[in-house]
């Protein structure tokens, strides 16, 4: 009877590890799937800012250098995150390749660390990218408003004069 209980406990422990590996692997893959649309949206915002900025003409507008630095920082962090979660030439992301390798090796400790570290990096860096892009967008909106004359002001329009 004791032998049967020991065998049952060992079998259960083996099944538990299998479930952990599969679950952790799925969590790693899900991180990439979850963050890809956000990174795509950030990419569009970077392109939009890059296209609109040169239309201002005057490079000496107050805050221009800072906005350019914010855009550059966001673009660099975005490229870093894209290298982690976007699919490469072989159809898999770096995150997927690492998760696959660790799952094959049945390394639950490293898989746990991969999921936690990747989640933390993606959470933190997407918040920073969003903040930097928002600041650059706000500057651009103010700069665009300052270089475009407001139509109708100063021309007597709406003042009741003929």
User: What is the tens place of the pLDDT at every residue in 144-159?
Assistant: 888 765 555 544 444 4
Q: In terms of Cα–Cα distance, which of 118, 132, 94, 141 is closest to 31?
A: 118
* Mean pLDDT value across residues 37-41: 97
Where are the alpha helices (H) located in 53-107, listed in sequence order? 64-85, 94-104
Q: What is the pLDDT of residues 92-150, one digit of tens each?
A: 999 999 999 999 999 999 999 999 999 999 999 999 999 999 999 999 998 888 876 55
Instruction: With beta carbons less than 8 A apart as the criterion, state whether 63 and 139 touch.
Output: yes
CB 5: neighbour CB atoms within 10 A?
9
* Mean pLDDT value across residues 23-30: 95
Per-residue tokens: 121: 């990096």
């Amino acid at each position: 009877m004791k032998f049967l209980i020991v065998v049952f406990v060992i079998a259960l422990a083996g099944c538990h590890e299998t479930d952990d590996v599969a679950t952790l692997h799925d969590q790693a893959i899900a991180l990439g799937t979850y963050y890809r649309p956000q990174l795509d949206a950030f990419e569009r915002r970077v392109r939009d800012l890059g296209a609109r900025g040169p239309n201002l003409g005057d490079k000496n507008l107050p805050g221009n250098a800072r906005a350019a630095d914010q855009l550059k920082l966001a673009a660099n962090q975005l490229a870093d995150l894209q290298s982690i979660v976007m699919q490469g030439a072989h159809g898999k992301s770096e995150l997927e390749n690492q998760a696959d390798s660790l799952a094959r090796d049945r390394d639950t400790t490293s898989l746990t660390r991969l999921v936690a570290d990747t989640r933390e990096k993606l959470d933190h860096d997407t918040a920073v990218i969003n903040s930097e892009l928002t600041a650059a967008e706000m500057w651009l909106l103010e700069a665009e408003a300052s270089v475009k004359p407001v139509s109708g002001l100063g021309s007597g329009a709406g003042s009741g004069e003929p």
